[in-house]
Amino acid sequence: MVVQTERDDMTWFRCEACGLMFDDREEATKHEDNCDAEGPSYIQ
Ligand SMILES: [Zn+2]
């Protein structure tokens, strides 16, 4: 899932699965389609 977040007066889009940040929603969505992370590793 892509989550929207604001930082430094900018809107970022973060891949919830792996934590990667994108400044473009399309990029984030495209990444998410290819993301093979099974879950945020920092939770485990
Ligand atoms: Zn990802």
Residue ranges covered by each domain of the chain: 2-37
Residue 40 Cα to ligand 1 midpoint, Å, equals 9
Asked whether the predicted pLDDT for residue 17 surpasses 80, the reply is yes
What average pLDDT does range 12-34 have in this prediction? 95
Cα of first residue to Cα of last residue in the chain, in angstroms, is 18
CA of 6 to the centre of ligand 1 (A): 18
Distance of alpha carbon 9 from alpha carbon 32, whole angstroms = 24
CA of 31 to the centre of ligand 1 (A): 6
pLDDT of residue 13: 97
- The reported pTM is 0.74
Is the distance from CB of 23 to CB of 38 less than 8 angstroms? no
**CB-CB contact of 12 with 23 (8 Å):** yes
Tokens of 22: 């994108």
The number of CA neighbours under 13 Å toward the Cβ of 29 is 3
